[in-house]
Amino acid sequence: MFSSIEALAFDLDGTLVDSLPDLAAAANAMREHFGLPRLTDARVAGHVGDGLAKLVHRTLTDERDGVAEPARWEAGLAFFARHYREHLADLTRPYAGVVEALELLRARRLPLAVVTNKPAAFAMPLLEQLGLAGYFSLILGGDSLPEKKPSALPLTHTAEVLGVAPAKLAMVGDSINDVLAARAAGCPVVAVSYGYGDLADGDADATIGNLVELYDLLKNDRA
């Protein structure tokens, strides 16, 4: 399946970087602003994955399907965005093996992209602050196109920009949104076993515990 891969797209939060400490800090600063008790990092992790608007609804209500009162949500969104923008990379770091994997993949001249549901206004500077932006030919945020994951559009657009067929673009991520987007676009999908997602065994075409394993996965499958 991976023998003909010509490009790779990566999710950001929970795949390339562990951003939970800074996301949780922003969420709890927002909750404290409204007189609400703090949430654990693990609780916030369960609310991550569908973009900033949903994250604010979920962390205000502490419910996966929660919808905050409109005025409170609007004020909370502004507070969260302001706090998070000022503390994007205080504690956020690439996962172990990420830089090594990106170096290996770049050495193979494979075009790389980031396809995240995080707004581009946060994704771009975060990657820049962590020294990762230069590895990627394309960085798509959740608001870069009319639709975000689990829609196929971000991946079909990425394939078009990178000049490859969707079947030759592998999606690498930690959540069901990554899998659904890949399936809808006709892309192979690799799951990481860490991160914040809720994937079950067999959801993806392959599962790895460290991004360095991508190199061997592509090499061995090609061999």
Write down the catalytic residue from 11, 13, 178, 205.
11
Contact, 190 vs 211, CB < 8 A? no
Q: By 3-state DSSP, what share of the chain in percent is helix, strand and coil, each rounded to 5?
A: 45, 15, 40
What's 95's DSSP letter? P
Cα(184)–Cα(65) distance, rounded to whole angstroms?
Answer: 23
Question: What spatial distance separates the first Cα and last Cα of the chain, rounded to whole Å?
Answer: 12
From the list 132, 133, 153, the residue with the least C-alpha distance to 142 is: 153
| 33: its two tokens | 């602003």
Which residue has tokens 């870069």? Answer: 144
Cα(21)–Cα(128) distance, rounded to whole angstroms?
Answer: 18
Query: For this structure, is 221 an active site residue?
Result: no
Cα(162)–Cα(155) distance, rounded to whole angstroms?
Answer: 10
Kindly report the backbone phi and psi dihedral angles of residue 31, in degrees, each rounded to the nearest multiple of 5, phi listed first: -65, -40
Cα(76)–Cα(135) distance, rounded to whole angstroms?
Answer: 33
| 211: its two tokens | 């991004």
Supply the residues annotated as catalytic.
11
